[in-house]
Amino acid sequence: MNRSTVWKIVKKFKEIGTTSDKPGRGRKRSVQAKTLLKNTREKLRRNPHRSHRKLAAEAGLSKTQMYRVLKENLGKKPYKMMKCHEFPEHRERMRAKRSCHILNDIAQGTFPNLVFTDKKK
């Protein structure tokens, strides 16, 4: 390693107490970002169920950029609602009844070759 590199790292550590970058470095936000945040916040206020994909399309951004705006700047957690099947109550009762029958059969020895174990094959 070059001697000057070591000296720069030591100097930086003495100045700020760490070798990581100073806060505030990197690319700054554009002026347009403020209007984007304002418009997005207003759209979400009117319709909180709006998808981040539609918001991105309306703003002319990519889905990833809009996701980042929603998460980091607005403190939202965008997610997609998933549909799932309904598990009716009568099916739950039927499942409990069948499991009781199976447990009774096991207790009576109807299944002599059934073995319960926690080992994996």
Higher-scoring residue by pLDDT: 20, 119? 20
What are 35-55's pLDDT values in tens digits?
Answer: 888 999 999 999 988 888 899
Q: What is the DSSP string of 13-78?
A: HHHHSSSSPPTT-SPPPPTHHHHHHHHHHHHHHH-TT--HHHHHHHHT--HHHHHHIIIIIS----
For residue 75, CA distances in Å to 5, 9, 72 come to 39, 35, 6
Q: What string of H, E and C letters represents the secondary structure of 59-70?
A: HCCCHHHHHHHH
pLDDT at 113: 78
Q: Give me the pLDDT at residue 18, please.
A: 84
